[in-house]
Amino acid sequence: FPVIRAQSSQEYTPEAKFYKIEAILRPWRVPHVSLGLLKMGIRGVTVSDVRGFGAQGGSTERQAGSEFSEDKFVAKVKMEIVVSRDQVDAVIDKIIEEARTGEIGDGKIFLIPVSDVIRVRTGERGEMAERMTGGLSDILSSAVSN
Ligand code: ATP
Ligand code: GLN
Calpha distance 97→82 (Å, rounded):
19
- Sorted by sequence, the CB contacts under 8 Å of residue 13 that are 6+ apart come out as none
Give residue 144's region: left, alpha or beta (phi > 0; psi -120 to 50): alpha
Residue nearest to atom 6 of ligand 1 (CA): 119
Could you give the ipTM of this predicted complex? Answer: 0.91
pLDDT in tens, 101-128: 999 999 999 999 999 999 999 999 999 9
β-sheet bridge partners, residue 24: 78, 108
Residue 31: cis peptide before it, omega within 30 degrees of 0: no
pLDDT in tens, 47-70: 999 999 887 765 555 555 555 545
What is the number of alpha carbons within 13 Å of residue 87 lying toward its C-beta? Answer: 25
**Minimum-distance ligand 2 atom for the alpha carbon of 37:** 8
Best residue among 33, 80, 116, 121 to mutate for probing ligand 1's pocket (most ligand atoms within 8 Å of CB) is 121
Q: DSSP state, 27?
A: G
Best residue among 85, 119, 130, 133 to mutate for probing ligand 2's pocket (most ligand atoms within 8 Å of CB) is 130
Structure pTM?
A: 0.88
Measure the CA dihedral 63/22/48/68, to 10°: -30
pLDDT in tens, 4-35: 888 877 677 889 999 999 999 999 999 999 99
Residue nearest to atom 23 of ligand 1 (CA): 44
- C-alpha 49 – ligand 2 centre gap (Å): 23
